[in-house]
Structure 1
């Protein structure tokens, strides 16, 4: 993908697809860096890894600076709730899973999904093939690992769809953010992200053979296949600030450069892997290349244009959030989201601007690579 300046294209798209604000609306005071660019803070939802490669690339390749933005990436972690950081005004945008962010909205966080970067869920449940666990109904009577913290609702929806009562028919086990409990056979089925924990299994040594485990050693339950997948990584903006024309324009510029970053990582996965590793990720190079490849599958192809919310996927995510109960009978949401929970207004302008500048915003020809993992993902 060619690196092309997109500022003119953003201006043109903004004229063609005008936002709801007007020029005489009050603007929010802004901070500028020494180079005259606007400082913008993006709160990530986890530690630096290829899950966020598009944003890292947009910084490192200068795509944000071409838009007049000095984007600072705020690393996430176990105790950081991105949507709360955003709602408290400590960041300008945040990356967060849709169900978790909607729950925060229900509790008063004024945030709006302005860019649904991941079009697909990457959540699995994984079991040893020898366990004969092949479908969610097979979880009955088994020890089922899950992370909690709002990550578990696809699992609960899948079990409910299979006719299981998550609070009675299985033994739920609080799982760490790794696969050790499954590898030690302390649990029968484990939660995993396609781009992270599943790879950890294939980087581990099978004691029976002395070689690394192979994909055929495991069974994957993919919630996309079951029909209970939910929308995950999205860019969230401050709802009140979206009334401000300056913030609207900034959002379009931020999303335009973000699109360019993700398109670059689609076309240059190894370069993006190297950028992520250089950020200090604790995960190794082959693991990060695997992650980059798998994350690209969640983004591309993007038939509507990268980041555009599919209303069908949104409705399914809200329905599961409203109707799926966890083991204590709680749901993610108590009522349908109110107000501006999501909008395609700004991402549509960004897609138009990026497309006008020659960026492939759909990735219809994208084909994932074959990545060979090594011991420990080194």
Structure 2
């Protein structure tokens, strides 16, 4: 179903969708398997939920903003959905643990660290990114062409768990991570441009574009990919699962209304990401408007948003159904976290997470219901050509 675009989505740091509650919301069939209360519909369906993002409004989160803009949450019985950005001041899984939000977007390894450190239980109910989008970028003339070249180097990272793939990749090759100097970089590529690091951390959909949007003072033209070497973690054994939708494990088990809402929420989100796959330009524009209306601290330009939308789609649409958690990729993420030792010789995690740390039950039910409604829930993305401009404008 296609709806007209509605602008002006965000006010301050929250997004609220207001519409009539669907009369049939309690009979959507979105109940957890084996839950008698949910099966009987003997509960009051939730019509208001909140989602904590892990960063500011950008196309990394396009599917959620699209679901709001296109009325998909309304179609699934929600009359209010708050999408809460973070400028780095809010840790999504912590907000979920505290009960401040109903769902959260966070990288799997970061949550694994939280689960071990605190003993709480959270469940990955949908794996949005199927591939790692992290890379280390260095100057071509410096000869850092693989993870094996990291030893003894100043490796840039944003910290807060973003460095885990660095050490997992090094551990997989038997390298000495204690020789690495992890240098905290800001959320730009200035550390590399200023040569404060030998290899800067970047996401395919964000910082990699940022540096290609900078004018080379020697040529007067934008930097080109051949000016740099890129180590993609997706090409290493250190690749880890990233953006996932997390829910409160105990609440899923105890509250049939919450379990029902989780399935309906995933249905709306799936439709949002399908729209973003099939309409990348429109989805990028919706997200750009969300960022502007939220008065984001680091707004990125419309061309940058389109690049980001193009690259994010590549990470999501790998050929299978949306959101399913691949056990092999999960096991690789856990194994990498268990084997990794940071620059101080400290382990990242010491034990495997509980079985409840992920479940395909809710996304499988959401996808099954969508298929019954005639929605194609799988597929691959056909990339578009995006020409970067100075500053991404």
TM-score by length of 1: 0.91
**Residues 7 and 190 (structure 1 numbering): CA distance in 2 closer, same or farther, change over 3 Å?**
farther
**Cα deviations across residues 175-201 of structure 1 (Å, max 9, x unaligned)?**
112110101222211110111111101
Q: Deviation at 1:272?
A: 1.0
Q: Deviation at 1:329?
A: 2.1
Q: Deviation at 1:147?
A: 1.6
Distance 2:305 2:323 in 1: 23
Partner residue in 2 for 1:23:
37
Give ranges in structure 1 of 5+ residues lacking alignment. 32-37
One of 352, 373, 383 as aligned partner of 1:368: 383
One of 66, 75, 96 as aligned partner of 2:85: 75
**Cα deviations across residues 283-327 of structure 1 (Å, max 9, x unaligned)?**
000000000000000100341x11110000000111111121111
Question: 2:37–2:43: 8 Å Cα contact kept in structure 1?
Answer: no
Q: Deviation at 1:91?
A: 0.4
Question: 1:9–1:353: 8 Å Cα contact kept in structure 2?
Answer: no
One of 86, 108, 111 as aligned partner of 1:98: 108
Partner residue in 1 for 2:175:
164
Please tell me whether residue 263 in structure 1 is matched to residue 274 in structure 2.
yes
SS at 1:340 equivalent: helix
Distance 1:51 1:268 in 2: 15
Question: 1:129–1:216: 8 Å Cα contact kept in structure 2?
Answer: yes
SS at 1:264 equivalent: helix
Partner residue in 2 for 1:337:
353
Partner residue in 1 for 2:224:
214
Distance 1:27 1:264 in 2: 33
SS at 2:135 equivalent: strand
**Residues 215 and 8 (structure 1 numbering): CA distance in 2 closer, same or farther, change over 3 Å?**
farther
Distance 1:11 1:150 in 2: 41
Please tell me whether residue 377 in structure 1 is matched to residue 388 in structure 2.
no
Question: 2:52–2:85: 8 Å Cα contact kept in structure 1?
Answer: yes
Q: Deviation at 1:117?
A: 0.8
Q: How does 1:66-145 map to 2 (within 5 A)?
A: 66-69=75-78, 70-106=80-116, 107-145=118-156
Please tell me whether residue 347 in structure 1 is matched to residue 358 in structure 2.
no
Which range moved further: 179-188 or 197-206? 179-188
Backbone CA RMSD of aligned residues: 2.3
Q: Deviation at 1:99?
A: 0.8
Please tell me whether residue 225 in structure 1 is matched to residue 241 in structure 2.
no
Q: Deviation at 1:202?
A: 0.4
Distance 2:377 2:319 in 1: 7
Q: Deviation at 1:246?
A: 1.4
Distance 2:390 2:121 in 1: 44
Q: Deviation at 1:29?
A: 7.6
One of 181, 190, 194 as aligned partner of 1:184: 194
Distance 1:252 1:151 in 2: 29
Partner residue in 2 for 1:59:
68
Partner residue in 1 for 2:11:
none
Partner residue in 1 for 2:10:
none
SS at 1:54 equivalent: helix
Q: How does 1:236-247 map to 2 (within 5 A)?
A: 236-243=246-253, 244-247=255-258
Give ranges in structure 2 of 5+ residues lacking alignment. 4-21
Following TM superposition, the consecutive aligned residue runs of length 4 or more in structure 1 with deviations greater than 4 angstroms are 6-15, 24-31
TM-score by length of 2: 0.88
SS at 1:187 equivalent: coil
**Residues 302 and 234 (structure 1 numbering): CA distance in 2 closer, same or farther, change over 3 Å?**
farther
**Residues 146 and 7 (structure 1 numbering): CA distance in 2 closer, same or farther, change over 3 Å?**
farther
Question: 2:2–2:70: 8 Å Cα contact kept in structure 1?
Answer: no
Distance 2:390 2:207 in 1: 14
Question: 2:115–2:121: 8 Å Cα contact kept in structure 1?
Answer: yes
SS at 1:234 equivalent: strand
SS at 1:363 equivalent: strand
**Residues 268 and 312 (structure 1 numbering): CA distance in 2 closer, same or farther, change over 3 Å?**
same
**Residues 8 and 314 (structure 1 numbering): CA distance in 2 closer, same or farther, change over 3 Å?**
farther
**Residues 240 and 207 (structure 1 numbering): CA distance in 2 closer, same or farther, change over 3 Å?**
same
